[in-house]
Amino acid sequence: MTLDAYSGRHSTFDATTVLPAWTPGEAPVPPRGAPPGLPALPPRPSTVTAAFCLAMTHAALWIVGSLVALGLAGLMVGATADVASAVGVVAVIGVPITLGVGTWIAAAARMRAGHPGARVLLAVLAGLGALLCAALGLVDDTILLPLVGLALHGALLVLLFRPSTDAWFRAAARDRAAVSPAPGPGSPPR
């Protein structure tokens, strides 16, 4: 018994179809008639890469500082030997820090991918962080840590809004708008 090739109207491949050659390391050849993907963004400027690296460095410092703060809080609670207090300290300090670092890293990753909303979120968080560092510098005896935090936040804000960065984000938004799907029923008009 032999099976004939499917002869329906959607037959793209049949028994005689020859697939294009592909070697590892090359981009795969899309099938004929495949819908186009997202257009390629212009090359990412070095300011965006530097902003991403600075944001990741800040996140790493935030994690290390949080672990030190949790350790110190644990030592203070350990002196009282109250387990409920230790769990409360970890919950009060650890959960918001984890959420904050996670939001920061996610915003930095999406900013690096060219999402303008992530750049705005990262800028708002950096601005709030700069204000917090400035306030801590006025209150705290040690000026070094708030000054380093203020410098990191300020440098990130400068990198996020350089002219080359602005141009790249505008191009990314324009490319995304060009391939956005047509609005469905009930969508606001464009």
For the stretch 101-123, pLDDT in tens is 899 999 999 999 888 899 999 99
The mean of the pLDDT values for the chain is 76
Within 13 A of 57's CA, how many CA atoms are on the CB side?
Answer: 13
Classify each residue of 88-103 as buried b or exposed e, where b means 16 or more C-beta atoms within 10 Å of its C-beta. ebeeeeeeebeeebee
CB atoms within 10 A of CB 5: 11
CA distances to 47, 99, 149, 152, 166 from 158, rounded to whole Å, are: 9, 25, 14, 10, 11
Going by pLDDT thresholds of 50, 70 and 90, the confidence category of residue 52 is very high
Spatial separation of the C-alpha atoms in residues 57 and 152, rounded to whole Å: 9
Going by pLDDT thresholds of 50, 70 and 90, the confidence category of residue 34 is very low
pLDDT at 53 over 60: yes
Mean pLDDT within 5-14: 50
Q: Which of 40-44, 95-99, 130-134, 169-173 has the lowest mean pLDDT?
A: 40-44
Q: Which residues contact 132 (CB under 8 A, 6 or more apart)?
A: 149
For the stretch 63-91, pLDDT in tens is 887 788 777 766 666 666 566 666 676 67
What's the DSSP call for residue 162? Answer: S
